[in-house]
Amino acid sequence: MIEHKIFKIAFNKCSELLKNISDNNLETLQNEFGISSAILTEIMEAIKPYDKDTENNFFAINEKEFDVFSYENNIDFGVEAILYSIHNKETELTLHAALIKQESGYKLQYRLIEVQ
């Protein structure tokens, strides 16, 4: 079972990631999450069909639909989260990321947003 502390770190970092996607903050997305402008373009294309349910592409996550699991090295973690519109409507989108242990703490690395 994943420690509550790790779960909270992952949840908070995913929330921060989604906020920066919403704000189209490429500098932070590159520096903090490893997202290039090309990847941001792909993300925006993936979420575009859901614009009618969101305001400015803003999505939320819900702790009940948020999963953190340990990788084989037992140091790093995988993260999966169902994305919700700001109106608390579940979408068909799932965020996949990795929580990687570094000397300064944990860093969230974006993997993909996919349609389920």
pLDDT for 73: 82
CA gap 13, 26 in Å, rounded: 16
- Identify residue 49 by its one-letter amino acid code: P
Residue 67: burial class (beta carbons within 10 Å; 0-12, 13-18, 19+): middle
Is this prediction's pTM over 0.85?
Answer: yes
Mean pLDDT of 23-47: 93
Question: For 67-89, how does the pLDDT look when each residue is reduced to its tens digit (9 = 90+)?
Answer: 999 998 888 999 999 998 877 78
CA gap 58, 84 in Å, rounded: 9
